[in-house]
Chains A and B, each alone.
Chain A
C-alpha cells in the first residue's frame, strides 16, 4: 500500500484496494498520514489485548520461567 511521505514510520502491509481506499479517505479527512491511521488501529488492537488478564499472566509467567534462555538470546541484533 502506498504511504504518504512524512509519516512517523512506514508500515508495510497487504490490504485490498477497497480497504486501502477507505484508509486513505479517513486519513485525508483527518489530515494525517495513512500510516498514522493504521498505527492507531493496531495500537487499539494491542491495547484491547492488553486488557486480557489471563493472556498477560501466562506471558509474565513464561518470561519469568524462561528468563535464562531469553537472556542468552539478548545479543541478537539482527
Chain B
C-alpha cells in the first residue's frame, strides 16, 4: 500500500495529534547527491493549505519522541529482521517492521512512556536497544530523519512497505 497525498497528510497530522509535534522534509536526489528541503514542524504546516500540501508530498519525518527505530542498513536480511522481531515480541514491545524501500529494514517501536524521559535518557535507552541488535547507532538521536511509512523512497522510488507487526 502506498499513501496518496491526502492520506499522507492525514497520517502525519494523526501522528502529530497522538505523539506530539515533529518535523518533516522532502528528500530528493540532485545529481548523485541526496538533498532535503528545510525541515518544518507538522503543527505549523497544519495551519495553512500550503502547509497541508507540503505534508502531502513529504517523504521523510523526524523520529518521534516516543519511538525507537532499529535501522538494519548493514547486514540486512529478512531472517535477521524476523529474529529481532521475535526478541522484541518476547520483551512485549509494540512495533512495525518495514522494508525501507532502499537497502534495508526499519523496525519502528512505539513506546508512549519514552516521551516522559529526558532527552539524554531517551538517547541512552534507544542507544542500548540499538547496540543490542547491532543496528545503525545514529538512530539513537531525536533529530534523525527517517523514510516515511507507506511512501516511495526518494532515492529508489520503491515504497516503504509493512512486513510484520508485533503480536
Q: Say if A and B assemble together.
A: no
B interface residues with partner A (beta carbon < 8 Å): none
